[in-house]
A and B are shown apart, each in its own frame.
Chain A
Amino acid sequence: MFANRGAAIILACLLLGACGAPQLFPKSVTDGVDANFNFIAWRNTPNAKVDRKVQIGGKVLEAGSQGNETIIIAIQLPIVEHPAYGPKDTGKRTGEFAIVFAGTLPPHALASGHRIIAVGTTQKAKVITVEDSKRTLPTMQAHCVHIWKTGGRDIADFSSVGAGYETLEEDTYCAPGY
């Protein structure tokens, strides 16, 4: 009797959870995120929209540490719910941006091609050297980032990489205070 009830509760929880996007970040972090944020407009005039709380998805291009900060250069990708929740490469390039994270992240989490969602506030554009050339990139100060270690594949395609089955590592990292 108890086992049946337990199974029913677990099933109900799973089915309820199945319909929504997974909660990657603490609610306090995502509260106040601008749902109508236009990345292209921000990229074109990065200094016009400072201190707005945003959530941006992308693909890691390059990353490095500067003092106690980690700077991630990413290509923006749309965040989709299907076929799997997360940033999805649709083949259209909308532009690159920089994520500044207060703290260090493990090197294996920053490999090129990993998918990332960052929540934070927009800042003034920074001049950043990407592949030996200086670029002025729209910049956000990340409160939290969630990284899928896909190594270049889309999230939905990952389990079929290679000739077998592999679990997809993903982790959320938050800056101190968040």
Chain B
Amino acid sequence: MRRIRIVLAAGVLTGAVLFGAGENMILAGELPAEQASSHRSTLQVAQASSESQKPPSNKSGTSIGGESLEDILLNKGTITMDEWIKIKAEEEYRGAGRDFRLDSIENFKTNVESLPILTDKVNFGLNALQWLYTHQDAHVPEGKSQDNISIRRSEFLFWGKINDTIPRWHALYEFQSINFGNSTPATAGATGTPVSATFFRESYIDFRPVQAWAPNLNYIRLGIFRMPFGIFTETSGGLRDVISSPYLTSVGSGLGNRTGTAGTIDFIQERDFFLDARGKIANRLEYAIGIMNNNNFHANATGSNQPKAFYSRARLFGTDVSFVSFTTILGESNNAGTNINGRGKGAFDRWAIDARYTSKLIPGLMIQGEWWQGHDGANQTTVGQGANGACQITAICGGSGAPGVQRRTWYVLGKYLINDGLFQNWEPTVMYEQFDPSTGTSNDLYTRTILGLTYYFENFPPKVQSKIQFNYEFRHHQGNGPGVAYDSTFDAFAQNAFLVQFQIRFM
């Protein structure tokens, strides 16, 4: 009886092995000769074992000297062939489970590898996290301090590349600045109400219509982003060489007056909603040309307040990193519904020339400058203060009641990054700038000299730049036009300031 069982079991095993061999032989044809022969030899060993009625060895199970424990037990007659087959079946079942788990891991790996974050479709970065300490000499109202600690920027950046046709999508969120901006009502004397948060700061899509046209027509950019106006406007806050924004972005405080020189003036908005085409010709001439809402980043909520404005910039490269460029912005502006300080009703234009010299002879030396001039229509207003039309009777049209003005500003900035020695990674910086709110009016000039010192913990722009900056600003403001009473005591643009900023940036 026992012999019959053994023969039966051996027959079952032989059949199973032969069935497996068939599969192996099919595989062997697909495998390299060396591997195929090894399969064949395994098969031969297995066949030889069944013929001699010795159970095949199982290396995956518990084995002693090449024989598994159950083989020894079977040979010694401790277990029956039925039990031996049962043990083998369980082992095979476990083996199948192991294979299944390995396949699952392989599938998981394949899925992980195709995740958007690993295929450049989605990326995450910290554009700038900036801690700022400011001391200003200007007096402040009751309840405020001349010493201020704040988070200047807390900008998280998300971007990706879908393919060569959509080479970039981009979204930046400014978590520091979640306050609401005011609307500018079209009624004299009225005050605007909060309309939208600036949490949503940048979002754009690049679209490259024809690969073969690039880089001559590199892509069409649609969205809200830093505008291609000169150098500073387009430089990320995380890469700027001085802490304060230049006067060409914003200058002054309070409300406007009849001279057109007082109040806050945002000469060039940093961001806007736009559609433009960009490219580079002959690796030397870079251009951007497009149209925009001309109503700053709040315009997503408030909408455009005027016909679109046209803009263009042509940048001619002398070397890979030194250039001169020309910018124009042309259109109409409204004072009602505006989200930009200092805009009036009527023709609006900006003209600029900028240049940057990055020295190859003296590595670390960089000098740049911008010169801007432009006209703002009559009756400029401050955001949130009612205005409607170009008339200069504030009781009727609100606003400042000022005539149209020509404004002008320029700056020069130089810096030198020390590359070795005791002061390696320190960078002294100096900047001088002027802003003339009205070229036809005297006694209104803003000037500022900034002396800066920066230490870089990591400096691999544009992706990484962690640093600490010390800036001392010598500020001067002549006044708000001839014959206008002016007290500089509380004017932050007329009193010096000291700033320290610690920044982390990675992407």
Contact = CB atoms under 8 A, between A and B. Distances in A.
Interface of A: 13-18, 22, 82-85, 106, 111, 151, 156-157, 160-171
Contact of A17 (B228, B239, B282): B282
Name the prevailing secondary structure of the A interface residues: loop
A157 B461 contact: no
Contacts of B444: none
Interface in B203-218: 206, 208, 211-216, 218
A166 B234 CA distance: 9
B236 A14 contact: no
B260 to A, nearest CB: 32
Nearest to A90: B164
| A161, A164, A166, A167: most-surrounded residue (chain B CB, <10 A) | A164
B208 A162 contact: no
B155 A163 contact: yes
10 contacts: A16-B282, A83-B215, A151-B463, A156-B167, A157-B168, A162-B125, A162-B236, A163-B172, A163-B225, A170-B320
A166 B202 contact: no
Looking at chain B's contact residues, the main secondary structure is mixed
Contacts of B285: 14
Contacts of A171: 320
Interface in B165-202: 167-168, 170, 172, 202
A171 B323 CA distance: 16
A165 B235 contact: yes
Contacts of B423: none
B462 A161 contact: yes
A82 to B, nearest CB: 5
B281 A83 contact: no
B42 to A, nearest CB: 32
B284 interface: yes
B281 A15 contact: yes
Which residue, A17, A18, A84, has most C-beta atoms of chain B within 10 A?
A18
A165 B284 contact: no
Interface of B: 125, 127, 155, 157, 159, 161, 164, 167-168, 170, 172, 202, 206, 208, 211-216, 218, 225-226, 228, 234-239, 281-285, 317, 320-321, 323, 358, 363, 460-463, 507
Contacts of A14: 281-282, 284-285
B206 A160 contact: yes
B170 A163 contact: yes
Given A13-B282, A17-B281, A157-B161, A165 B211 contact: no
Nearest to A83: B214
Given A15-B281, A162-B157, A167 B463 contact: no
A53 B125 CA distance: 42
Given A83-B215, A84-B215, A165 B463 contact: no
Given A164-B239, A166-B239, 8 more contacts: A14-B281, A15-B282, A17-B282, A84-B215, A161-B463, A163-B172, A164-B238, A169-B321
Contact of A164 (B159, B208, B462): B462
A85 B283 contact: yes
A106 B420 CA distance: 13
Nearest to B234: A165
B231 to A, nearest CB: 8
A156 B218 contact: yes
A18 B218 CA distance: 12
A142 to B, nearest CB: 20
A157 B164 CA distance: 10
A82 B234 contact: no
Given A82-B211, A85-B283, A156-B215, A163 B238 contact: yes
A106 B323 CA distance: 23
B282 A18 contact: yes
B113 to A, nearest CB: 12
Nearest to A167: B321
A82 B167 CA distance: 13
A36 B320 CA distance: 30
